[in-house]
Amino acid sequence: MKNIDYMSVADEAMAKIKQGVFLTVKAGDRLNTMTIGWATIGYCWQKPIFMIMVRNSRYTYSIIEDADDFTVSIPALNMKNAVMYCGTQSGRDVDKFKELGMETKAAQQTYSPIIDLPGLHFECRIVHKSAMDPQFLVESYQHFYPEKDYHTMYFGEILGCYEV
């Protein structure tokens, strides 16, 4: 494992996020991973921050609402099929880890594990969450929410960023 300055890989991470990466959350005995394609990495409150968005209709939302943290795993290898599967199947209905033969690995600083795969991993502590208020969303973006299942934004302080 090689610790990395999060800003030195931010551009690479954002390019891969656009193609889909894994968000993993654990609360109690509930564990799920899902695909995210929208996120941002930056600096807020004098801390490194990874901001993710989870729709309130997703199974992961029911877990992250009870969680203190999350991890983001960005595969170094082509995992297009796994990313697609995790973005189209619900953890309510299937055990994605079992179905894909993916394993988790204990994170260093968070309760939520990382996915055991080569790539970049971010461990984040939730420091703020904010439900979207659709009245403040410009009309030209409303088409992203045909079901009115708006996102909640989770701001995670980056506690660790490393490559395995």
pLDDT at residue 86 tops 90? yes
* Amino acid 89: pLDDT: 93
How far apart CA 137 and CA 115 sit, in angstroms, is: 33
Please compute the mean of the pLDDT values over residues 20-39 and round it to a whole number.
96
CA distance 41 to 15: 12
Q: What is the pLDDT of residue 39?
A: 96
**Where residue 68 sits, what CATH number does that domain have?**
2.30.110.10
> What's the DSSP call for residue 113?
P
Predicted pLDDT of residue 68:
98
| Helix H or strand E segment including 150 | none
The pLDDT tens digits of the residues spanning 43-77 come to 999 999 999 999 999 999 999 999 999 999 999 98
Confidence bin at 133 (pLDDT 50/70/90): very high
Q: Which of 109, 110, 130 shows the shortest CA–CA distance to 44?
A: 130
Residue 1 reports pLDDT greater than 90: no
pLDDT for position 95: 95
**pLDDT tens, residue by residue, 135-158:** 999 999 999 999 999 999 999 999
Report whether pLDDT(161) > 90.
Answer: yes
Helix (H) or strand (E) holding 23: strand 21-27
Q: Which domain holds residue 138?
A: 2-163
Provide the domain count of the chain: 1
